């Protein structure tokens, strides 16, 4: 079993060590202060220092995002307590990110959020939603949850063979079925050489879910996967030049964020929030959001479908926006690019984000 910790980064008795993975110590102890407000301010200060250091380092080789699927998502979760219209759903676009970066072992490739769209549809919440259309399920899915791309199609678009993928990772494992990618029960996976990078808290969580969690996890999504395909992370981890995974617990216990240094600044990706509005609600034009933030003093608006640890999620979102810094495209908002980003849809009035990143691409892909 692979395991990452501070004293000895990777333990894998039967295979080569992942020597390119390095622990990041900048946030050690940042959440140990007794008062939540002190934890928040300590995290904020450390995030700003980390941002300055990370910006002075190398940039990624390649970064590209792809739209995979649009899915309806309850507004009461996406904009927790802040949305003022009766519209029950909004659209989120689930995205794939292809990241390449330099390491001492050469250029490596990470796929972040490579969703198996068909298998993930078995997630109980979304399966019930689909079944609510009765005999019109197929039509309803095409309208309400259209597939825009598959992971396989995205790789073909950029000419990247699946055997060139070194790692896959997800900010958290809600809705994810991993078996197609990593293989299970002796069957080979689509990515023959890739390992899953996951925080140990997230991996442990899916081994025994409680009812508030289970509605959002794909049944048996990790069943039969060999542990030599899984790297359990104990800490914030530098993957290589310009790429890191930072622990951002809250949305789930084991949530982490992708941090990438690009020609357009640092981009931070997770699903703690689902839009730029979540990270600066005072600038939001979504009905109710600005007023709610002004009345409550909320600095960020949580994406709260499970609320596993809400105060930690609030602190994590502040950490994310402070690392990201202001967007060059719209300085009123931060360079936080959600892994599932809110998107306007004609059937869901009032749910268009004030600012959206769309699809991003930087650098040139290496395919050999």
Q: Return the DSSP state at 191.
A: S
Report the CATH architecture of 22-362. 4-Layer Sandwich (3.60)
pTM of the shown model: 0.93
- Helix residue spans in the chain (DSSP H): 36-55, 75-78, 117-120, 124-131, 137-144, 151-158, 179-182, 200-205, 211-214, 276-279, 289-296, 310-324
Pairing, β 195-199 against β 230-233: parallel
pLDDT band at 16 (very low <50, low <70, confident <90, very high): low
Q: Is 33 left (phi over 0), alpha (psi -120 to 50) or beta?
A: beta
pLDDT band at 137 (very low <50, low <70, confident <90, very high): low
Residue 322 has pLDDT above 90, yes or no: yes
C-alpha–C-alpha distance, residues 326 and 334, integer Å: 4
- Residue 61 token pair: 């080789």
Sheet of 22-23: strands edge to edge? 22-23, 237-240, 243-247, 256-262, 265-269
Burial of 326 (0-12, 13-18, 19+ CB in 10 A): middle
C-alpha–C-alpha distance, residues 85 and 79, integer Å: 11
Average pLDDT of the segment spanning 261-272: 97
Domain ranges for the chain: 22-362
pLDDT band at 132 (very low <50, low <70, confident <90, very high): confident
C-alpha–C-alpha distance, residues 333 and 355, integer Å: 8
């Amino acid at each position: 079993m692979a395991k990452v910790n501070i004293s000895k980064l990777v333990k894998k008795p039967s295979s080569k060590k992942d020597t390119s993975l390095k622990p990041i110590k900048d946030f050690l102890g940042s959440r140990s202060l007794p008062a939540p407000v002190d934890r928040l301010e300590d995290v904020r200060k450390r995030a700003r220092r980390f941002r300055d250091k990370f910006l002075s380092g190398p940039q990624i080789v390649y970064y590209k995002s792809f739209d995979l699927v649009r899915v309806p998502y309850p507004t009461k979760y996406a904009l927790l307590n802040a949305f003022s219209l009766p519209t029950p759903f909004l659209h989120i676009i689930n995205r794939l990110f292809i990241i390449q970066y330099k390491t001492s072992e050469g250029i490596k490739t990470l796929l972040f959020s490579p969703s198996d769209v068909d298998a993930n549809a078995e997630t109980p919440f979304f399966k019930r939603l689909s079944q609510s259309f009765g005999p019109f399920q197929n039509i309803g899915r095409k309208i309400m949850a259209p597939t825009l791309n598959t992971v396989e199609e995205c790789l073909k678009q950029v000419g990247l063979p699946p055997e060139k993928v070194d790692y896959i990772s997800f900010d958290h494992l809600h809705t994810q079925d991993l078996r197609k990618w990593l293989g299970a029960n002796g069957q080979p996976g689509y990515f023959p050489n890739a390992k899953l990078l996951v925080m140990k808290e997230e991996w442990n969580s899916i081994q025994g879910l409680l009812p508030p969690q289970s509605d959002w996890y794909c049944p048996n999504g990790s069943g039969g996967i060999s542990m030599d395909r899984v790297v359990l992370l104990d800490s914030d981890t530098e993957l290589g030049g310009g790429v890191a995974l930072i622990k951002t617990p809250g949305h789930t216990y084991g949530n982490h964020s992708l941090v990438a240094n690009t020609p357009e600044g640092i981009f931070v990706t997770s699903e703690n929030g689902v839009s730029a509005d979540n990270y600066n609600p005072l600038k939001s034009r979504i009905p109710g959001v600005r007023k709610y933030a002004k009345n409550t003093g909320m600095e960020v608006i949580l994406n709260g479908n499970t609320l596993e640890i809400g105060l930690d999620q609030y602190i994590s979102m502040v950490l994310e926006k402070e690392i990201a810094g202001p967007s060059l495209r719209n300085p009123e908002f931060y360079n936080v690019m959600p892994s599932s980003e809110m998107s306007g849809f004609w059937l869901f009035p009032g749910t268009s984000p004030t600012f959206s990143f769309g699809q991003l691409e930087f650098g040139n892909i290496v395919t050999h």
